Structure 1
Amino acid sequence: MVISNKSEYALLALLELATCYPKGEALQIREIAVLQDIPNRYLEQLLATLRRGGLIKSIRGAKGGYVLARDPGKITVLDAFSCMEGSDIVVSDSEPTPNTVEGELIQEVWQEARQAANSVLEKYTLQDLCERRSLRKQKELMYYI
């Protein structure tokens, strides 16, 4: 499985919004774009999709921008992927029905692999990613003598 640019950029934007969530601050598109090096026009489309998916809210006004719709500890990575890719990774009605025993076996293994991927993505929240990022940044700041 490969993560699409769309999903990766959406996760990066959500991560920035999760960072600001405890302070109750809204982030504007241009701020997120600069922080994560995402093209403005593309980010606008991604944020619109995340808003329609109920993961973020937009706030109007001079201090407006975007905020998470709920606590970062309650938004999973799977929620973000499902919102951006249109459906759960496990569900795929477009796959042909196998005509052979071997085809059925391959299909079963592939289904099991997707379920495993989903369980991992469901296990991690935006809060988890924020905490991991903080730990990594702290390690980068350590000096070794």
Structure 2
Amino acid sequence: MKLTTEEGYALRAMVFLAKQTEEDHAFSLTEIAKVEKLPLHFLEQIFIKLRRQELVISLRGALGGYRLSRPAELISAFDVMQAVGDTVSLLDCNRDFCPQGDCSMSPFLLKLQHTITTTLQGTSLHALANPTL
């Protein structure tokens, strides 16, 4: 499985927010882009999707910006990836080769997909922000 650029940027930005200890402080996309060395125009599109999925809250005004919508322990890597991507999937079978989806590799790939999904669902932003825990 390979993360898309968008998924990688989204995870990095969300981990940045998860590391922040001031719960009522919001961070501008410019600030996040600068600290994480991410392209601002890409972050703007990503945060539209994250806000739609209610993973972040946007605050307006001079002190406005973004913050997590709930504690970092309650947002998984899977949530973030699913918010910005189509699906979190390892299986991309070649239908010309395997039209039924029941080739000899299917059981292995399904098991691998389940393991990856379970790991992503079980990994919170808090855990990503604090890897020694």
**Is the pair's TM-score, using the shorter chain for normalization, greater than 0.5?**
yes
The structure where helix makes up a greater share of residues is: 1
**Residue 105 in 1 paired to residue 133 in 2?**
no
The one-letter code sitting in structure 1 at the alignment partner of 2:24 is G
The unaligned stretches of length 5 or more in structure 2 are none
Give per-residue Cα distances to partners, 1:93-126, cap 9 Å, x unaligned.
Answer: x87494579x532122111111111111111100
Q: How far 1:91 sits from its partner (Å)?
A: 8.0
TM-score, normalised by the number of residues in structure 1: 0.80
1:81 aligns with 81
Tell which structure's C-alpha radius of gyration is larger. Answer: 1
Percent identity over the alignment is 25
SS in 1 for 2:62: coil
Q: CA RMSD in A?
A: 2.4
Contact 2:27–2:64 (CA under 8 A) maintained in structure 1: yes
Q: Distance in 1 between matches of 2:48 and 2:120?
A: 22
TM-score, normalised by the number of residues in structure 2: 0.86
1:139 aligns with none
The unaligned stretches of length 5 or more in structure 1 are 136-145
**Residue 38 in 1 paired to residue 38 in 2?**
yes
Q: How far 1:88 sits from its partner (Å)?
A: 3.9
1:127 aligns with 126
Number of residues of Structure 1 aligned to a counterpart in Structure 2 = 131
Shift in CA distance, 41/99, structure 1 to aligned 2, threshold 3 Å: closer
